[in-house]
């Protein structure tokens, strides 16, 4: 039944948008992709592989000019900051611009075998998979794998920082949902016997319907409250028996255009068992290590450029390999500081940041250090995106 509803939605969206022309022009190293096709695209965008991604040390799989049903949904999304910190004092700020080979999908259209990255192959808690083909069968490739299914578009890549092999993935559903996913794998077992945490930060410039008129709201037990200045926030469940079929019992964040009321609600990933490789963004709280390196879950800032013309991405004053702290105050200021106050978000181009994190515990301590774990939120469409039957948009979280 669910598959039938998805197919109905695709046909309805295509009918509504059948006379539209492409809204996306890719330049330079950008690659164009549309789903289900470029003639009647429901989704269309440009993407960059890690080695071509922006910033001096890259930002993994980068997507740009993402349009859903003809409307701009995301101007840019990528992961410019990735960290690892260990209980023995070792820490790393990783680079994100080195492509790493992975097993290609069996095809683009409805492949019978999906792409297999280091993370996808790392299913044992204590056995390293080393390099592609990970002891499996398949053709090793680098770059970005495109997979088009009847109900979704999937983009996948693998990139390397020494023995770390990270997976970048975006899933675009027919109903407008977007699921960024980040996988944290270790290909050769280095330091698997030391407990550590990985942190990655998505930087999402939604720019829904254009760069201005953005509004950001925090929805919690107090209601839905507009945020008029730069801020940080935490993931929070309202009770210990949270029903994971809906996000009614957790803090969420809404970014929308104040003129058209189109927007996206950001909902933390949950429902899987993180220790077993599943997605549960509540499993690793802010500053769980106690080192003071990663103290927030989300933040929203005004888009800004520094004197060297580089967009803000955390801490531009230092990016050495051994600097493991995410200096969020360089992005959103410090309330009450006097000299570094949060700036206004009213009428501004707003940038949203989301922290993903996992905890690798050695097998000797009862953990599953080498089993790859993933993180990532879900973006739910809100407002009128031109869909014929709004009941097929899963804004409530139900499927």
Which of 367, 17, 380 is closest to 195 using CA atoms? 367
The pLDDT tens digits of the residues spanning 236-263 come to: 988 655 455 566 789 999 999 999 999 9
Residue 240 falls within a domain, yes or no? yes
| Predicted pLDDT of residue 395 | 45
The pLDDT tens digits of the residues spanning 114-125 come to: 999 999 999 999
Residue 294 falls within a domain, yes or no? yes
Cα of 141 vs its chain's centroid, Å: 22
**Collapsed DSSP state (helix, strand, coil) of residue 31:** strand
Phi, psi for 342 (deg, rounded to 5): -55, 140
The pLDDT tens digits of the residues spanning 161-217 come to: 999 999 999 999 999 999 999 999 999 999 999 999 999 999 999 999 998 889 999
Domain count of the fold of the chain: 1
Q: What's the whole-number average pLDDT of the chain?
A: 88
Euclidean distance between CA atoms 22 and 175, whole angstroms: 19
Name the percent of the chain lying above pLDDT 90: 73
Euclidean distance between CA atoms 172 and 254, whole angstroms: 18
Concatenated DSSP letters of 282-307: TSS-TTTTSSSS---SEEEEE--B-T
| Predicted pLDDT of residue 334 | 92
Mean pLDDT of 264-270: 96
Residue 399 falls within a domain, yes or no? no
- pLDDT at 396 > cutoff 60: no
Residue 397 falls within a domain, yes or no? no
**Range in 21-30, 43-52, 288-297, 313-322 with the lowest mean pLDDT:** 313-322
- pLDDT at 16 > cutoff 70: no
Euclidean distance between CA atoms 104 and 82, whole angstroms: 25
- pLDDT at 11 > cutoff 50: no
**Range in 61-75, 143-157, 260-274, 321-335 with the lowest mean pLDDT:** 321-335
Taking the CA atoms of 395, 12, 258 and 71 in sequence, report the sign of the dihedral they define: positive
Which of 148, 124, 149 is closest to 136 using CA atoms? 124
Longest dimension (CA), the chain: 60
| Predicted pLDDT of residue 235 | 96
> Residue 399's pLDDT band (boundaries 50, 70, 90)?
very low
| Predicted pLDDT of residue 156 | 98
Residue 68 falls within a domain, yes or no? yes
Residue 250 falls within a domain, yes or no? yes
Q: How many CB atoms lie within 10 A of CB 235?
A: 22
The pLDDT tens digits of the residues spanning 329-383 come to: 888 999 999 998 999 999 899 999 999 999 999 999 999 999 999 999 999 999 9
The number of CA neighbours under 13 Å toward the Cβ of 12 is: 19
The pLDDT tens digits of the residues spanning 98-109 come to: 999 999 999 999
- Could you tell me the two tokens for 335? 């309330």
Mean pLDDT of 148-169: 97
Integer Rg of the chain from CA: 20
> Residue 155's pLDDT band (boundaries 50, 70, 90)?
very high
- pLDDT at 28 > cutoff 70: yes
CATH code, domain carrying 175 = 2.70.98
Q: Which domain holds residue 100?
A: 2-392
| Predicted pLDDT of residue 99 | 98
Cα of 110 vs its chain's centroid, Å: 23
Residue 398 falls within a domain, yes or no? no
Residue 112 falls within a domain, yes or no? yes
């Amino acid at each position: 039944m669910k598959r039938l509803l998805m197919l109905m939605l695709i046909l309805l969206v295509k009918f509504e948008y059948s006379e539209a022309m492409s809204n996306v022009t890719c330049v330079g190293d950008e690659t164009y992709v549309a789903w289900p096709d470029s003639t009647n695209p429901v989704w269309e965008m440009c993407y960059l592989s890690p080695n071509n991604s922006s910033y001096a040390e890259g930002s993994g799989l980068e997507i740009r000019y993402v349009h859903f049903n003809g409307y701009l949904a995301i101007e840019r999304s990528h992961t410019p900051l990735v960290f690892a910190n260990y209980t023995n004092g070792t820490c790393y700020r990783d680079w994100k611009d080195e492509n790493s080979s992975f097993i290609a999908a069996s095809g683009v259209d409805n492949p019978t075998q999906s792409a297999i990255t280091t993370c996808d192959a790392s299913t044992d808690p204590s056995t390293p998979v080393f390099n592609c083909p990970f002891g499996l069968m398949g053709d090793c490739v680098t770059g970005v794998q495109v997979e088009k299914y009847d109900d979704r578009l999937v983009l996948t890549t693998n990139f390397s920082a020494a023995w770390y092999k990270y997976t970048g993935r975006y899933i675009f559903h027919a109903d407008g949902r977007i699921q960024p996913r980040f996988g944290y794998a270790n290909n050769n077992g280095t330091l698997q016997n030391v407990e550590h945490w990985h942190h990655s930060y998505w930087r999402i410039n939604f720019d829904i319907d254009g760069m201005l008129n953005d509004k950001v709201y925090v929805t919690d037990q107090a209601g839905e409250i507009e945020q008029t200045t730069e801020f940080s926030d935490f993931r929070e469940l309202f009770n210990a028996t949270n029903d994971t079929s809906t996000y009614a019992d957790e803090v969420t964040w809404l970014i929308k255009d104040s003129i058209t009321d189109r927007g996206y609600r950001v909902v933390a990933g949950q429902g899987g068992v993180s220790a077993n490789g599943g997605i549960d963004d509540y499993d690793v709280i802010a500053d769980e290590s106690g080192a003071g390196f990663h103290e927030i879950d989300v933040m929203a800032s005004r888009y800004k450029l520094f004197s060297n013309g580089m967009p803000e991405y955390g801490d531009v004053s230092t990016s050495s390999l051994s600097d493991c702290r995410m200096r969020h105050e360089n992005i959103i200021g410090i309330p009450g500081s006097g000299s570094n106050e949060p700036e206004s978000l009213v009428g501004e181009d707003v940038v949203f940041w989301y922290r993903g994190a996992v905890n690798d515990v050695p097998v000797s301590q009862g953990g599953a250090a080498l089993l790859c774990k993933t993180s990532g939120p879900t973006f739910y469409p809100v407002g009128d995106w031109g869909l014929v039957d709004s009941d097929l948009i899963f804004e409530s979280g139900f499927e």
